Amino acid sequence: MSYGISIYFGLDNTKQENIKLLKDAHELGFTRIFTSLHIPEANYSILKTEAREFFNLAKKYNMDIISDISPNTFKFLDLNDMDLKGLCDIGVKTIRIDFGYTAEKISKMSKNPYGIKVQLNASTITKEFFENLDRYSPNYKNMDALHNFYPRVGTGISEECMKEKNTILSKRGIKASAFVGSNNRKRGPLYDGLPSLEAHRGIEVREAANHLFALGNKSIFIGDSLPGKKELEDLSRLNPDAVELFIELKECDNVTLRLLTETYTQREDEARDAIRASESRLLLNGEKIKALNTVDKNYGDIIIDNEKYMRYMGELQILKGSQKSDYRTNVVASVLQKHIYLLKYITGGKKFYFKIVNN
């Protein structure tokens, strides 16, 4: 699991802004940088000068530089075609295969001796692509995949498409990644954001990234030119292994408040009517939960069983539907309406945690 930024030389940002973005991201634990060396609108005289200097600095920080490549990329960097050692020497650790390479060449690159990882375009792969690639025995352990971003409004992929592609990739053990857009400085020339999912255009980085993690993506990149410091901080604070749910408190005591700060795992034996936390009863540490707010319950409500439920005291659930009031069960909080859709991703073994918004 990791986080990444995107750098575009010769476009919107100054050299100083790109370097500050690199330093800010590094301090917050970001480990990956995506860059493109064949953007038609870029000023190539600036690009060529700044890229190598930036790569050297990123190399000192041990950041994973991902460059999309084509045969023209090598020419631009004054390297021979397929000179992976040359790319490695300037700090590129991952090459994203965009176009211009056959399955045989991709397989050969995956087995390079320089430690360079090959990254596939997650949005365009198909079963047929892998059936063809299989013929050349690639090193799938040296591959990952990154979904496209989409500058034009209305062209981002659907959730269904992403799930289908990620399923295909997972069958070969390939981890998928994706982009979220920034609302601070959007990249030109269209300035409409650079998300992978069209549904994420214009929404907050934290919310979009949380959704992408829930969909099984392992790395999240901010696609736009200059994300704000808060956007970087929000992304770095996400738990990539769990679904974050924003909740509104109802009535609860100190014991309940403590339980709502924990990270939980949905039980493998999934209940029909609720998401059940595996660990909550074990976290009571001998404390008692008194009956409080034992009212009717709705879809998305978070309930905790009180002492009148005897050995079930401390049982924490998120409801999948409405239920009548029960004197043994406290209604302690509810998932915000905008996060209700995330409940469908909390399947058996999936972790989840809460962020209280009115405390």
Indicate if 221 and 152 belong to the same structural domain: yes
Q: Which two tokens stand for residue 17?
A: 């802004």
The answer to whether residues 284 and 315 touch, using CB atoms and an 8 Å cutoff, is no
236-to-18, 30, 209, 356 alpha-carbon distances in Å: 19, 7, 10, 18
Indicate if 333 and 235 belong to the same structural domain: no
Q: Give the pLDDT confidence score for residue 359 in this predicted structure.
A: 57
The contacts of residue 16 (CB under 8 Å, 6+ apart) are: none
Residue where a domain stops, chosen among 181, 215, 240 = 240
The answer to whether residues 249 and 332 touch, using CB atoms and an 8 Å cutoff, is yes
Indicate if 204 and 277 belong to the same structural domain: no
Secondary structure (3-state) at 196? coil
Q: Give the pLDDT confidence score for residue 41 in this predicted structure.
A: 73
Neighbouring CB atoms inside 10 A of 286's CB total 4
Indicate if 188 and 256 belong to the same structural domain: no
Among residues 102, 154, 98, the alpha carbon closest in space to that of 123 is found at: 98
Can you give the CATH number for the domain in which 260 is found? 2.40.100.10
- Tell me how far apart the alpha carbons of residues 317 and 97 are, in angstroms, rounded to a whole number: 44
The contacts of residue 10 (CB under 8 Å, 6+ apart) are: 39, 42, 43, 44, 45, 46, 47, 50
Residue where a domain stops, chosen among 199, 218, 240 = 240
The answer to whether residues 329 and 306 touch, using CB atoms and an 8 Å cutoff, is yes
For strands 2-7 and 117-121, give the pairing.
unpaired
Indicate if 11 and 107 belong to the same structural domain: yes
- Tell me how far apart the alpha carbons of residues 263 and 282 are, in angstroms, rounded to a whole number: 13
Indicate if 269 and 209 belong to the same structural domain: no
Q: Give the pLDDT confidence score for residue 90 in this predicted structure.
A: 87
- Tell me how far apart the alpha carbons of residues 6 and 289 are, in angstroms, rounded to a whole number: 48
Domain coverage including residue 251 = 245-356
User: For residue 128, how far is the Cα from the chain centroid?
Assistant: 26
| pLDDT tens digits, 107-124 | 999 999 999 999 999 999
Indicate if 128 and 234 belong to the same structural domain: yes
Looking at the DSSP assignment, which residues form a beta bridge with residue 334? 248, 301
Indicate if 179 and 316 belong to the same structural domain: no
Q: Which two tokens stand for residue 255?
A: 């014991």
Indicate if 250 and 321 belong to the same structural domain: yes
Indicate if 63 and 38 belong to the same structural domain: yes
Q: Give the pLDDT confidence score for residue 315 in this predicted structure.
A: 98
Residue where a domain stops, chosen among 218, 240, 262 = 240
Can you give the CATH number for the domain in which 182 is found? 3.20.20.70
For strands 176-180 and 219-222, give the pairing.
parallel
Its pTM stands at: 0.93
Looking at the DSSP assignment, which residues form a beta bridge with residue 101? none
Please list the ranges in the chain whose pLDDT falls under 50: none
Q: What angle do CA 169, 173, 176 make, to 5 degrees?
A: 50
Indicate if 89 and 230 belong to the same structural domain: yes
Indicate if 81 and 226 belong to the same structural domain: yes
The contacts of residue 192 (CB under 8 Å, 6+ apart) are: 151, 152, 153, 186, 201
- Tell me how far apart the alpha carbons of residues 205 and 222 are, in angstroms, rounded to a whole number: 8
The answer to whether residues 180 and 223 touch, using CB atoms and an 8 Å cutoff, is yes
The total number of structural domains that make up the chain: 2
Q: Which two tokens stand for residue 224?
A: 């736009």
Helix H or strand E encompassing 178: strand 176-180
